Amino acid sequence: MVNNPNENSFCSAKEILICNKSGGLQRIDEKCSYSDPLHYVLMFFRGEQGWKYNFYPLKNIASKKQNVNICFETEPENQDEDEINSKFVTATQYYSYQLQDRLGGFISNYGRLFHQYIVEQYAKIETSRLNYILFNQKSLRADLYKNEYKPKDLSQINGIVSAELPEQVSFPQTYKTVKACMMHGHDKITLSLENPNEFNNSEEQNQIKEVIEITRFQSERYVSACESCFRIFRYNLSGQYPTTVRLSIHLENQQMCYFDQNNDISEVLSKNEETQLTAFFKLNSNNFKANDLFYYEIPKHFSWDNRSWKPRKKANTRIISRIYFVHPTDHERYALRLLLLKRKGVKSFKDIKTVDGHEYSSFRDGAHALGLIEDDREAEKSLEEACHLITDCNQLRELFVIIILNCQPANIKSLLDKFKDNLSFDILLEKKKIDSNRKYDEIIYSLCLKKINVHLYKNGKTLQSVELLDCLVDDHDFDLHSNLLIKDVLNFNITNLKKEFNDNIGKLNTDQIFAFNSIIKRLNNEQETGQIIFFIDGPGGTGKTFLYKTILAKVRSESSIALAVASSGIAALLLPGGRTAHSRFKIPISIQSTSTCHVSLQSNEAELFKKA
């Protein structure tokens, strides 16, 4: 069956048009019980009614004598609406009942007509499923379990939602956050215009056709009788041997839960409460046999059924079970996974963190105590050595960031504590110029953390993501949401740049002047839009780099953004603020014809490129 949905209604219902005795036309929808006998007159020659929308349970009094599928509906009496709704027979249930091979059953004898019947019934089921998805797009939701919180009364709502702007002087940080994140102009929508030329009159030209994934999925889809049968009976379309079970892993109350926006929140929470991991804890408390098993061994002896582990009659040793992979940069979950691989009989999250009777504050500390994570001696040694060799504190901070991002130290905070004096030495020297008695204090450390944040930012991380934000005591002028990449490329000394430009401009020779003028003229001409590329060529040592530096100094001295990139690291070093093109534009190393730069439209990099 080839399903070509109607252009106007996305998941179209098939209708039968009949001419009644008075000569008028009557439409019979496919969700109506008369649709089947009217369409398949040969199969249902007695006029037996088929499934209809809001179908009540069938009283199973199919006549044994007649050997035909005659079923009667039982009308519910004195029941409330919810109870009635839960009792409706779905189309899938009805047709899987109808297609069963029974003694004396005859619809399977209709050959190709029977095939058509199966396919059409499946199309009916599929259409209602797609319609449900289509009409409930706004209400289908997923979120972390812990984020699901709904205030119950007005006072709670007022406690959370406040239409006031925080006071700018007393709460500068909150003021900035509210201003940046909660005050905005018009919302944006994205529309795609398909074949605008096909509209003829002006009224139609104004219509914009919405592109809907469901229509694309449904259009020109081929469904055979075999597939329809399989789907109606809800058989698996593919099999796998041996069975593989993937075990969930999440921190406490951080499991994903799925819900409809109109659901009652307590209901959503109770429905999504149990995961394989939390059920494993429960199992350990209730079933002593489970205490001898690791988490990954559970599926061999217990089956995951209806959100709980049920004992298997016989252990199935062929099952392969794996805990989901967790990247080491996700520190806490990674440590939890390590602990679960080594510990049996744990009954709670608290239990996992407890090693030798001592409850650790984090899974990382617990894993460290068990010797599952290496201690930070290597990282400390590297930093100690660097403190003796490196005199530039900025380079030391860069090394610190490389270590915390790539070597996964167990305790970043203690590493910072140990080396914070070395990391902020240049800041202390600066302060000493104003006050010679100045000593290390929290303000100096906070300034150092802000500088560390700049390096983190270049690697797509922030103080918050490496859990160092609470070490920041003085968060004055620290804006968590501003784009540090832009700040970084504007962070030049304008006076020095102006001086450099004035010195260089007078030295340029005729060719350099020609190139300089052409480029700057194009930059200043705002009317000429579109991309333009200049290519400067010349033998070695003829002043190309000198010209680039002059152009960079000119643009940057006017507080505009100029991104200097080169194809190699050595060439990039020759340009002030230079980076390799691969690093700046996130160009993939191996390039295919379909490769694109790894920069998403909403990222800080994208914002920077737009401003440049």
Ligand X SMILES: Nc1ncnc2c1ncn2[C@@H]1O[C@H](COP(=O)(O)OP(=O)(O)OP(=O)(O)O)[C@@H](O)[C@H]1O
Binding-site ranges for ligand X (CB under 6 A): 507-509, 512, 538, 540-546
* C-alpha to C-alpha distance for 253 and 145, rounded to whole angstroms: 6
Minimum distance of ligand X from residue 545's CB (angstroms): 3
Nearer to ligand X by C-beta: 410 or 547?
547
Q: Tokens 């679960």: give the residue.
A: 340
Nearer to ligand X by C-beta: 146 or 544?
544
Q: Helix or strand or coil: residue 605?
A: helix
Nearer to ligand X by C-beta: 453 or 504?
504
Buried b (16+ CB within 10 A) or exposed e, 263-295: beeeebbeebebbbbbbbbebbeeeeebeebbb
DSSP tag of 55: B
Phi and psi at 355, nearest 5°, equal -120, 125
Minimum distance of ligand X from residue 583's CB (angstroms): 20
Minimum distance of ligand X from residue 331's CB (angstroms): 45
Minimum distance of ligand X from residue 556's CB (angstroms): 18
Task: Please give the residue whose beta carbon sits closest to ligand X in the complex.
Answer: 543
Cβ atoms of 504 and 553 closer than 8 Å: yes
Minimum distance of ligand X from residue 563's CB (angstroms): 19
Minimum distance of ligand X from residue 330's CB (angstroms): 44
| Secondary structure, 3-state, 89-114 | ECHHHHHHHHCCCCCCCCHHHHCHHH
Q: Annotate 268-294 with DSSP letters as a single string.
A: HHHHS---HHHHHHHHHHH-GGGGGS-
Minimum distance of ligand X from residue 505's CB (angstroms): 10
Minimum distance of ligand X from residue 611's CB (angstroms): 28
Q: Which residues pair with 15 in a beta bridge?
A: 29
* C-alpha to C-alpha distance for 172 and 476, rounded to whole angstroms: 7
Minimum distance of ligand X from residue 578's CB (angstroms): 13
Minimum distance of ligand X from residue 542's CB (angstroms): 5
* C-alpha to C-alpha distance for 211 and 192, rounded to whole angstroms: 7
- Is residue 95 exposed (0-12), middle (13-18) or buried (19+ Cβ within 10 Å)? buried
Is the CA virtual torsion 51, 52, 58, 63 positive or negative? negative
Task: Give the rounded distance of the alpha carbon of 373 from its chain centre.
Answer: 29
Nearer to ligand X by C-beta: 310 or 507?
507
Cβ atoms of 295 and 339 closer than 8 Å: no
Minimum distance of ligand X from residue 506's CB (angstroms): 9
Nearer to ligand X by C-beta: 430 or 503?
503
Minimum distance of ligand X from residue 585's CB (angstroms): 22
**What is the CB neighbour count within 10 angstroms for residue 319?**
17
* C-alpha to C-alpha distance for 339 and 354, rounded to whole angstroms: 10
Half-sphere exposure of 102 toward its Cβ, with a 13 Å CA cutoff? 16
Q: Annotate 498-552 with DSSP letters as a single string.
A: HHHHHHHHTT--HHHHHHHHHHHHHHH-SSS-S---------TTSSHHHHHHHHH
Nearer to ligand X by C-beta: 162 or 509?
509
Minimum distance of ligand X from residue 513's CB (angstroms): 9
Cis-peptide into 242, omega within 30 deg: yes
Q: Where are the alpha helices (DSSP H) in 200-289?
A: 202-205, 213-218, 225-232, 265-271, 276-286
Cβ atoms of 449 and 477 closer than 8 Å: no
β-pair type (244-247, 72-73): unpaired
Buried b (16+ CB within 10 A) or exposed e, 410-429: bbbeebbebbbebbbbbbbe
Report which secondary-structure segment, H or E, holds 322. strand 320-323
Minimum distance of ligand X from residue 504's CB (angstroms): 8
Nearer to ligand X by C-beta: 296 or 546?
546
Minimum distance of ligand X from residue 512's CB (angstroms): 6
Cβ atoms of 116 and 107 closer than 8 Å: no
Nearer to ligand X by C-beta: 14 or 544?
544
Nearer to ligand X by C-beta: 12 or 545?
545
Minimum distance of ligand X from residue 338's CB (angstroms): 51
* C-alpha to C-alpha distance for 334 and 344, rounded to whole angstroms: 17
For the chain, how long is the longest CA-to-CA vector?
Answer: 110
* C-alpha to C-alpha distance for 175 and 283, rounded to whole angstroms: 48
Nearer to ligand X by C-beta: 35 or 512?
512
Nearer to ligand X by C-beta: 382 or 545?
545
Nearer to ligand X by C-beta: 516 or 585?
516
